[in-house]
């Protein structure tokens, strides 16, 4: 059962609901959005009359939700939720694009990419410092040094930073430097990590697992939300199928399905979905058309020498062309995009 509070309900009103539920032996999970608080009640909810909760002050609606994901369900929040990352809003009319190299390789390289993607109108900078590589012999990322490089670029180019956290052990360190914490496909069901992220005051981007069903993906989001973090952005990055021409298969229908099932914003990563840079543009366009709330694209100035994911990285000039193309069609889909910058706005010399 979930209790949807009226917009900007007081803490006192929320406490009245949670006290009543706890007195009936139910456990309570609070999800505080920008506007509304939603209270999930778990346990034998037959004990409590929905009418008794509905009658409490500042309660908007009391719903029995049949899906296993209750706080993530659109039933409880028919209007999509918005997630703020720095000054950027995901889930509204904007169509933000996150861009950057797969891995932070050096300060010089990140600086070059950050400058180029900022000029092209990217809303956030990506770069992995802790990399989940298939082979233990592949580049594993620069770790803390990579986070510091990201933090400098964030300051210099005034771009929020997105980076992956792989383990609860690194969480504090990564959260100190990142504006949006990425949970990678391989960790989508790392439940200890998800529970820890529930207690962090940073938004989380949850990538879909390699072989995860939509239901499992939304239940993973529910782990974050029921542990206290309602600032969740979903990211479709392709799933494993029998098709091997592309690295993964971009499940475009999942975007439309998730938009119906959940109020959470959902973005698309056409780089990992295809593994091929020449397919990024058509699939990015398709993502915009199908109703995604943004994109994440890998960009590298010399993909042939990239330490990770070169074949699926766009050259900076191709990224700029992609942004021009998206900007042209976005208005016809009622989406707005950040303008191209004429010069990088550096806050440091």
Instruction: Choose from Mn ion, ligand PEP, none: what does 318 bind? Cβ within 5-8 Å by kind.
Output: none
Alpha carbon separation from 76 to 25, 62, 71 (Å, rounded): 22, 9, 7
- Which residues, in sequence order, are CB contacts of 321 under 8 Å at separation 6+? none
Cβ 34 to ligand PEP shortest distance, Å: 26
184: its two tokens? 């990678």
Among the listed residues 5, 48, 53, 102, the single contact to ligand PEP using CB under 6 A: 102
- Measured on CA atoms in the order 67, 71, 72, 75, is the torsion positive or negative? positive
x-or-dash string of contact with Mn ion, 114-143, rule CB under 5 A: ------------------------------
**Spatial distance between the Cα atoms of 10 and 4, rounded to a whole number of angstroms:** 13
Q: How many CB atoms are located within 10 Å of the residue 25 CB?
A: 10
Q: Is residue 237 involved in binding ligand PEP (CB under 6 A)?
A: yes
Identify any residues that bridge with 99 across adjacent strands, giving them in sequence order.
125, 297
- Which residues, in sequence order, are CB contacts of 284 under 8 Å at separation 6+? 268, 270, 295, 297, 322, 326
Which of 25-33, 51-59, 106-114, 184-192 is the region at the interface with ligand PEP (rule: CB under 6 A)?
184-192
Q: Is residue 146 involved in binding ligand PEP (CB under 6 A)?
A: no
**Spatial distance between the Cα atoms of 47 and 32, rounded to a whole number of angstroms:** 25
Among the listed residues 179, 293, 309, 318, the single contact to Mn ion using CB under 5 A: 309
Q: Is residue 250 involved in binding ligand PEP (CB under 6 A)?
A: no
**Spatial distance between the Cα atoms of 326 and 320, rounded to a whole number of angstroms:** 10
Which of 11-19, 144-152, 181-189, 323-331 is the region at the interface with ligand PEP (rule: CB under 6 A)?
181-189
Instruction: Choose from Mn ion, ligand PEP, none: what does 207 bind? Cβ within 5-8 Å by kind.
Output: ligand PEP
Which of 23-31, 151-159, 178-186, 328-336 is the region at the interface with ligand PEP (rule: CB under 6 A)?
178-186
Q: Is residue 102 involved in binding Mn ion (CB under 5 A)?
A: yes
For residue 105, the SS3 value is coil
Instruction: Choose from Mn ion, ligand PEP, none: what does 277 bind? Cβ within 5-8 Å by kind.
Output: none
Q: How many CB atoms are located within 10 Å of the residue 312 CB?
A: 26
Instruction: Choose from ligand PEP, Mn ion, none: what does 265 bind? Cβ within 5-8 Å by kind.
Output: none
Q: Which of 124, 131, 5, 132 is nearest to 56 (CA)?
A: 5
Instruction: Choose from Mn ion, ligand PEP, none: what does 179 bind? Cβ within 5-8 Å by kind.
Output: none
Q: Is residue 207 involved in binding ligand PEP (CB under 6 A)?
A: yes
* Choice between 2 and 314, CB closer to Mn ion: 314
β strands within the chain, DSSP E: 2-5, 27-32, 37-42, 59-63, 83-85, 88-90, 97-100, 124-126, 161-164, 180-183, 204-207, 232-236, 266-268, 295-298
Residues of span 260-289 touching ligand PEP by CB under 6 A: 272
Which of 49-57, 78-86, 183-191, 335-343 is the region at the interface with ligand PEP (rule: CB under 6 A)?
183-191
- Residue of minimal Cβ distance to ligand PEP: 184
Rg (CA), the chain: 20
Cβ 26 to Mn ion shortest distance, Å: 42
Among the listed residues 128, 141, 160, 316, the single contact to ligand PEP using CB under 6 A: 128
Cβ 18 to ligand PEP shortest distance, Å: 35
Instruction: Choose from Mn ion, ligand PEP, none: what does 282 bind? Cβ within 5-8 Å by kind.
Output: none
Q: Is residue 185 involved in binding ligand PEP (CB under 6 A)?
A: yes
Cβ 312 to Mn ion shortest distance, Å: 7
Identify any residues that bridge with 176 across adjacent strands, giving them in sequence order.
none
The DSSP string of 299-349 is: B-S-GGG-SS-GGG-B-HHHHHHHHHHHHHHGGGGT-B-PPPPSS---S--
For residue 288, the SS3 value is helix
Cβ 126 to Mn ion shortest distance, Å: 9
Which positions touch Mn ion (CB under 5 A)?
Answer: 102, 309
Which positions touch ligand PEP (CB under 6 A)?
Answer: 102, 128, 132, 184-186, 207, 237, 272
């Amino acid at each position: 059962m979930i209790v949807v509070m009226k917009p900007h309900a007081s803490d006192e009103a929320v406490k009245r609901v949670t006290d009543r539920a706890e007195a009936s032996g139910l456990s309570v999970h609070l999800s505080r959005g920008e506007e509304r608080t939603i209270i999930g009640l778990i346990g034998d909810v037959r004990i409590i009359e929905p009418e008794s909760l509905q009658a409490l002050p500042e309660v908007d609606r009391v719903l029995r939700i049949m899906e296993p994901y209750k706080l993530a369900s659109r039933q409880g929040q028919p209007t999509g939720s918005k997630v703020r990352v720095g000054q950027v809003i995901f889930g509204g009319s904007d169509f933000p694009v996150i861009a950057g190299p797969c891995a932070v390789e050096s300060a010089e390289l990140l600086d070059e990419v950050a400058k180029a993607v900022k000029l092209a109108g990217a809303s956030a900078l990506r770069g992995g410092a802790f990399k989940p590589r298939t082979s233990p012999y592949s580049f594993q990322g620069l770790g803390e040094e990579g986070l510091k490089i990201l933090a400098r670029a964030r300051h210099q180019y005034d771009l929020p930073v997105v980076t992956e956290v792989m383990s609860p052990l690194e969480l504090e360190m990564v959260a100190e430097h990142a504006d949006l914490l990425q949970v990678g496909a391989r960790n989508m069901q790392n439940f200890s990590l998800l529970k820890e992220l529930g207690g962090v005051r940073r938004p989380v981007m949850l990538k879909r697992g390699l072989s995860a069903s939509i239901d499992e993906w939304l239940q993973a989001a529910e782990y974050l939300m029921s542990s206290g973090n309602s600032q969740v952005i979903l990211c479709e990055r392709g799933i494993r199928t029998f098709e091997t021409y592309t690295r993964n298969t971009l499940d475009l229908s999942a975007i439309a399905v998730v938009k119906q099932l959940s109020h959470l914003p959902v973005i698309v990563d056409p780089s990992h979905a295809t593994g091929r840079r020449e397919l990024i543009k058509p699939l990015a366009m398709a993502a915009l058309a199908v109703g995604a709330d943004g994109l994440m694209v890998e960009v590298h100035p010399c993909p042939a020498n990239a330490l990770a994911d070169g074949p699926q990285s766009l050259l900076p000039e191709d990224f700029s062309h992609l942004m021009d193309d998206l900007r042209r069609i976005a208005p016809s889909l009622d989406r707005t995009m950040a303008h191209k910058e004429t010069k990088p706005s550096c806050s440091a010399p």
